[in-house]
Amino acid sequence: MKRAFTLIELLVVIAIIAILAAILFPVFAQAKLQAKKAASLSNVKETGLADLMYMNDADDNFVLCQNTCDNTPPNPLCVTSGPAQNTATGVGVADSWVYLIQPYIKNFGIMVDPGIGDTGGRVLGSNSTKHNQDTYPHYGYNYMFLSPFYDCNSALSRNSSQGVHPADTVMFTTSEYFDPSRNIGFFDANAPGAWPIISPAPHACIYYGFIGTVATPWTGNWSTVNPLNKHYSSSTRAVAPYNGGNVVWVDGHAKFGTDGFLATGTDYGKGTDNAGNGSLGATILNQANPTTYKWTLDGTLNDLML
């Protein structure tokens, strides 16, 4: 005589399966996130290596954060704001480091952090234009110290010979656009908490966040939008999705770091570095000799003081 399962036995089996699923699914999700984190670290390392190859052909000068377009004669490095992904030579719009190192990468795909994805097709998809790709990669450049953008007018190319601790100086890091959605990258990155300026910087062009239009800076407290408000004060993506940032350093090695680590040498996290405080932001400590600060190339703040 064949014996069938009772209803109670079936319910017990289902309950066991549900318990196992509840235990294993988060583990699978975490493993998937770690795989994306590793792929992101590889992407940022490849970006740094491309800059090092660029430097070999540029007398060891770091890539410009963005060039200056010269209308006469037409500059092949300039871009237009047209809809085509690969628009022809244009005038009037500067091109960022994304395109300047592209001959050494030949792949826009590594500009997409797999943990974020190409939201809205801004890097590779239907909304991608050269100008978008210039602006919204998921990896940002340490522009303030490797290629200062004076008075928002012209960028300087620093030389690697000026580096005093290349293994401890940020070159590129995972970054985000200044927007509560957190789904868009940004091509330049500041240290965590750098809102809107790091003193002293009378002529450095420094990117900081806006709500709505560019003409209306956000002046409220980000904590009313998201408790992780400090991370909106710069373009370093040091929270989601990895609880830290993937970084390639000036010597070419890549390493993950928490937001606190990337803000070493500042008063970040001391309650002064959010949009509600007016204009202070996180301040660099020991400005005369900022030896622990992770962003300065030559161990000084001289470029900011020019």
232 band by pLDDT with thresholds 50, 70 and 90: very low
Interval 21-42 mean pLDDT:
82
**Which pTM was predicted?**
0.79
Residue 290, preceding peptide bond in cis (omega within 30° of 0): no
What is the band of 209 on the pLDDT scale with cuts at 50, 70, 90? Answer: low
Half-sphere exposure of 132 (CA within 13 A, CB side): 21
**pLDDT at residue 160 in the model:** 94
pLDDT in tens, 99-110: 889 899 988 899
pLDDT confidence bin for 74, thresholds 50/70/90: low
Hey, what amino acid is at 101? I
The confidence band for 211, taking pLDDT boundaries of 50, 70 and 90, is: very low
3-state secondary structure string, the chain? CCCCCCHHHHHHHHHHHHHHHHHHHHHHHHHHHHHHHHHHHHHHHHHHHHHHHHHHCCCCECCCCECCCCCCCCCCCCECCCCCCCCCCCCCECCEHHHHCHHHCCCHHHHCCCCCCCHHHCCCCCCCCHHHHHHCCCEEECHHHHCCEECCCEECCCEHHHCCCHHHCEEEEEECCCCCCCCCCCCECCCCCCCCCCCCCCCECCCCCECCCCCCECCCCHHHCCCCHHHHHCCECCCCCCCCEEEEECCCCEEEECHHHHCCCECCCCCCCCHHHCCCCCCECCCCCCCCCCCCCCCCCHHHHC
- Whole-number pLDDT of residue 41: 96
Highest mean pLDDT of the ranges 3-17, 43-57, 217-231: 43-57
Task: For the chain, give every domain's residue range.
Answer: 7-305
Percent above pLDDT 70 for the chain: 68
What is the pLDDT at residue 270? 67
